[in-house]
Structure 1
Amino acid sequence: MPPSVDSAPVPPRGQRVRETITQLRQRILAGEWPVGSRIPTEPRLVEELGVGRNTVREAVRALAHAGVLECRQGSGTYVVSTDELAPVVARRLTDDRMAEVIEVRRAFEVEAARLAARRRTPEDLAALDGALAAREAAWRGGRVAEFVEADAALHTTVVAAAHNSMLAELYASIGAAMRSTVTQAMGDALTPERHVDHARLVAAIRAGDPELAAREAGAFLEPAPGA
């Protein structure tokens, strides 16, 4: 019997795998499966995605190799990152490379501040005010880990205000490295001499002054004399 004219051609296997990888990645990025959560079982994914078991298996294996998923024997497959660059950066992060991390941070953050001063919206300014207030509250609380997270959130908010999606993605990839540099700088306690005021950076962005915003952002990460 000749095939029906309504039959849809079956895509090649490689294409099906690529499409499945894209679907899995999109669901992770959308927050359906947050970092730390377990993704559905293989039979469930086969049912939901409408592809074969081998296709699902290859797609999961590819994302595990990229550092987005982690397969734990006897437990399941978990989301360990939303960013394929982050595990690569983490593997390269060692104590003797902290100076390089700071240089990369400076390159990203100076340009982000410059762009944010030009492009910030009222919503961005409200978010910056909230992030700055949270950072100061965390400092007053005296807990290093909370302050590091609040500081990272403020810098991430500045990058978001730049409205450059590629810059935001690249900056997210150094998130763990960025936190490590701040943790190292703070030491075991939040002492007064380690406090760095970020209010002037936010003010420069609010004023729409790109060069002042860039200078303020760069000042936090100036290399030590002789470095």
Structure 2
Amino acid sequence: MLAQAPRTSLADSAANSIRAEISAGRWAVGSRIPVEPQLALLLGVSRGTVREAVKTLVSRGLLEVRQGSGTYVRSGFDPSANLQKMRRASLRDQFEVRRALEVEAARLAAVRHTAKDLRNLRALLERRGLPDASDGGASFIQRDLDFHLAIVDVSGNLALAETCRFITGYIKDTIASSMGTSLPEPDQAAHASIVEAIASRDPDRAAEAVRAFMAPMIDALSKAEP
């Protein structure tokens, strides 16, 4: 029987109990977990708490909600611990990893893009607009992230796209770091230069555009960090 969740941090505790069932192999990958009312009874929590727990595990890639069918075990591996370790890396390290991924994405996008892909990138760039801190910058960060992830999608490399989505929170941290700080934020022209380099179908030019885009931020951090 599932261990009932303690009364503190109920949603997190419920998520931990569900994860323990998955890790122990009692709920195998591909299997459907008990429905919400049954989970609430097993865990001794409300259905609202169960929904929050499931939402947490969906975001971590362990569960998958299929509309009209139920909630299924997607993976037995919880990457959250690895992500926490990555987030303890220095900001310079984070930017260097992001640069490595986006350079390769741009190279592949230059070779594989379609006319429709270019139209989408330009539309996302226009939608990105200028930084807006009215909501703490959250909307702008998401628009900027959408633009960069679209380039990764245009690369046509699923493993690369999934890797970038795996560290989405990590990428958001690097975007947020240049808002309201002395760290230089690339302007619209810098972003547009990447799109135009991709449009040229020259992979070396596309790669160089991303390196030039990242250089001011990484240089600034290299001077600030030991």
TM-score by length of 2: 0.63
Aligned equivalents of 2:102, 2:203: Cα separation in 1: 12
Change (3 A) 1:112 1:183: same
Gap regions ≥5 residues in structure 2: 1-21, 62-76
Change (3 A) 1:142 1:153: same
Aligned equivalents of 1:157, 1:221: Cα separation in 2: 17
Residues 85, 173 of structure 1: 8 Å contact kept: no
Tell me what 1:21 maps to: 29
2:203 partner letter: P
2:185 is the counterpart of 1:194: yes
Deviations 1:126-161 (A, max 9, x none): 22112111112xx16554222111111111000000
Gap regions ≥5 residues in structure 1: 1-13, 26-38, 45-56, 58-70
Residues 121, 150 of structure 2: 8 Å contact kept: yes
Change (3 A) 1:43 1:225: closer
Which shifted more, 118-127 or 208-217? 118-127
Q: How does 1:32-181 map to 2 (within 5 A)?
A: 40-41=35-36, 43=38, 73-74=45-46, 75-76=49-50, 77-80=53-56, 81-83=59-61, 87-94=80-87, 97-136=90-129, 139=130, 141=132, 143=134, 144-181=137-174
Tell me what 1:63 maps to: none
Tell me what 1:217 maps to: 210
1:224 partner letter: D
Percentage of identical aligned residues: 28
Across the aligned residues of Structure 1 and Structure 2, the Cα RMSD in angstroms comes to: 3.4
- What's the secondary structure of 1:224's corresponding residue? helix
Residues 112, 162 of structure 1: 8 Å contact kept: yes
2:55 partner letter: V
Q: How many residues are treated as equivalent by the alignment?
A: 170
Change (3 A) 1:41 1:105: same
* Shift of residue 220, structure 1, vs aligned partner: 2.1
Q: Which has the larger radius of gyration?
A: 1
Aligned equivalents of 2:101, 2:176: Cα separation in 1: 19
* Shift of residue 85, structure 1, vs aligned partner: 6.8
Deviations 1:66-116 (A, max 9, x none): xxxxx8943213222154676245312446522111111011000000000
Aligned equivalents of 2:26, 2:126: Cα separation in 1: 44
Aligned equivalents of 2:88, 2:80: Cα separation in 1: 16
Aligned equivalents of 1:133, 1:79: Cα separation in 2: 32
- What's the secondary structure of 1:194's corresponding residue? coil
